[in-house]
Amino acid sequence: MSEKSYNANDLKILEGLEAVRVRPGMYIGSTGSKGLHHILWEIVDNAIDEAANGYADEITVTLHADGSASVEDNGRGMPTDMNTKAKMSGVELIFTKLHAGGKFDSENYAFSGGLHGVGASVTNALSSWLKVEVYRKTVFKMSFKSTYDKAKKKWLCGIPEGPLVNTGEKTSKRGTYVRFMPDKEVFETIEWSYDSVSKRLKELAFLNKGVKINFSDERPRFREEEVAGDDGEVTVKKIPLPAREPVTYKYDGGLVDFVKYLDEGKTELYAQPLYYSAVKDIKVKGADAGKIKIEFAICHTKDDEESLYSFVNNISTVEGGYHETGFHSGLLKVVNDYAKSNGILKAKDPLFIADDIKEGLTAVLTVKMNNVEFEGQTKTKLGNPEAKAPVEQAVVEGLTQLMNARGNKQIFDEVAKKAKFAADDRIKHRAEREVAKAASDSDQLNLIGKLAACSGRNPDMNELFIVEGDSAGGTAKQARMRQFQSILPLRGKPLNVQKKSALQTLQNEELKTLISAIGAGFNNSFDVEKTRYKKVIILSDADQDGLHIRCILLTFFFKYMRDLVKAGYVYIGMPPLYKVYKKDMVEYAYDDKELDEAIKKVGKGYQIQRYKGLGEMSAEQLWDTTMNPATRNLIQVTVDDAQAAKDIIEMLMGDKVEGRKQFLAENANFNKVDGFIEKVNFKPENAEAD
């Protein structure tokens, strides 16, 4: 075969924002629901940066009826004058040029989440249209549009429909208003998640003390109801629901209010969270490298796990980073010193380790700094090693100061005693190591008669299906591909581990079997590199019981195998809700939108089967719809998803009733379970054919 020539003319130059359209995943992570929300966060973060730097105190986010979203702030307003170098207005520069912005130095923004200079332009590139209004004594307007040039076979992304126009309309408002329509040609879904948006905005209000964030959802709401006709044909009727009321988030207590909110449903060891803030110098190779602002609030509960939420410049760092390392180091030093000084640790006792002081800790840590190095544009982990030392110093300094304050000795007594109890328990009980041994290849006694193991030994290929019920488990065993798919049926609902110790968890036969099947240990001994499966798939019925099982299992993974979730190895299988058929024509629908499309494909005379459980499917149907890698839909679970499941379990089954009362008041519909399903909101953020 002759070799194809390769020269300079074969190199393709992507102009303007075309690169963003061609490779959106490089800029927003994915084109699923998470990527969709990322382009909203880019605009929200710009508004938050104005507030965080003292230029704004009110932000309004609206999800409009047509599917677009808008963000308005009362900050300084984007620059409307001409940039002499680029020969265009500041507004046009911000929305059409990558790596253009006012956040690359500390002159305009002391701290900023938008350090890459691509946020607003990426949102513009991935929207079918975008409109901007700037309020600076008069109203300035500009609009952009994305179209496909068939002649040139290329996307014209975020092209201005005209220059920035000063309308001459006088206004007392100040700030910037941005409204955009996500492009359905880019995203797998352009359906905004109310829960995801409201959660993030509430979080930002906690992080920015005193800033008012308004949120409105103007989209029409419906619930579906199955209606059987006289001929027995089932149709789905959409019944309008009341519009959601606008909400406002504003927290004058800031991080203290945040910790109280996170501890709802838990029993605290002390009533008022401890709070401290400081500004420290950053040192890089011994030289000054700017300032870092550090804030944290902590409280301890009777739980046995840690809930640490960390942020850098208002960006959630769910994968942690050097700031978390510094936080834990400082906390460990203070608690160890206090325990030794006050006789809680005797001379012969070993010092506490990090896991001992994490038990029952609820903490919010936020740092603000320049020259942030996030790992990727999606910003999930802080990569600046120079952040560790000042954070550790601030934690030691702050907790020591709080320790010496009048009335706080009892608080530190409780914290040190809880750490001592955790240390004693860790030293005394070695059962977890035994489970790790039991999960080795040589010991399969716990799995005999329970796990239908695959024949393959390659974890990269192997899949473990955790299936609700023996009936569905039997069908799944018939449907599976034995070479790489293992089936583990669950008998009844698994143990809710939220209020159970590690030892109590290990005494549960179903979970012990699951631990052995995964084969990577448990809790502190868990090693994700030893897992037998790179896909652990929860497969439950599409009803409230199935949803409950899903929550319980995600809580288990989040609590005792968190690295499995962090590695992206946990998935949720998506069985179809409907089968639409007529003679030899069959279409499956995974939601009500797909149901409408399936009905159109099948045509008149169709019939609908509503699957109420996996056991209603034949082995062939289960394979085609849910287990076949070529045709199935999977949701890849993120740390946020698992945390949300744990929070729901905590609220509904925790020690306190206030959260349950509020939840029931807002969501209970005793004729239908839609409220609960909507609240938990396990929608396919990354649902795609695997």
The average confidence (pLDDT) of the chain is 83
> Is residue 440 in a domain?
yes
> Is residue 36 in a domain?
yes
> Is residue 26 in a domain?
yes
Same domain for 189 and 275, yes or no, is no
144-193 pLDDT tens trace: 999 888 887 788 889 999 999 999 999 999 999 999 999 999 998 999 99
Residue 288 pLDDT: 76
CATH code of residue 262: 3.30.230.10
640 three-class SS: helix
87-140 pLDDT tens trace: 889 999 899 887 555 444 455 555 554 444 357 999 999 999 999 999 999 999
Residue 318 pLDDT: 84
Give the DSSP per-residue string, 120-178.
HHHHHHTEEEEEEEEEEEEEEEEEEEEEEETTTTEEEEEEESS--EEEEEEEEEEEEEE
Distance CA 228, CA 160 (A): 52
> Is residue 5 in a domain?
no
CATH code of residue 441: 3.40.50.670
List the one residue out of 294, 441, 296, 282 whose CA is nearest residue 362: 296
Distance CA 309, CA 56 (A): 25
Same domain for 360 and 461, yes or no, is no
Residue 99 pLDDT: 59
> Is residue 95 in a domain?
yes
> Is residue 154 in a domain?
yes
List the one residue out of 347, 314, 363 whose CA is nearest residue 200: 314
Same domain for 108 and 170, yes or no, is yes
Same domain for 546 and 642, yes or no, is yes
Residue 569 and residue 531 in contact, taking contact as beta carbons nearer than 8 Å: yes
Retrieve residue 428's tokens.
């005394």
Same domain for 81 and 95, yes or no, is yes
Structural domain boundaries enclosing 475: 432-575+617-689
Residue 87 pLDDT: 87
CATH code of residue 42: 3.30.565.10
Same domain for 163 and 24, yes or no, is yes
Residue 124 and residue 158 in contact, taking contact as beta carbons nearer than 8 Å: yes
Distance CA 103, CA 368 (A): 13
Number of domains in the chain: 4
Residue 177 pLDDT: 98
Last residue in a domain, options 428, 447, 478: 428
Task: Give, in order, the Cα–Cα distances in Å from 504 to each of 495, 497, 671.
Answer: 10, 8, 36
Residue 256 pLDDT: 97
Residue 641 pLDDT: 65
pLDDT block averages, 10 residues each, the chain of length 690 = 45 57 79 90 91 92 97 95 87 82 50 55 94 96 91 85 95 96 93 94 95 97 78 76 94 96 88 94 81 96 89 87 96 96 92 92 93 68 92 97 90 94 78 53 54 92 91 89 93 81 82 90 87 94 82 89 90 89 86 85 87 83 90 82 67 60 53 34 35
Last residue in a domain, options 211, 245, 275: 211
> Is residue 90 in a domain?
yes
> Is residue 372 in a domain?
yes
217-276 pLDDT tens trace: 999 998 877 777 776 676 778 889 999 999 999 999 999 999 999 998 788 999 899 999
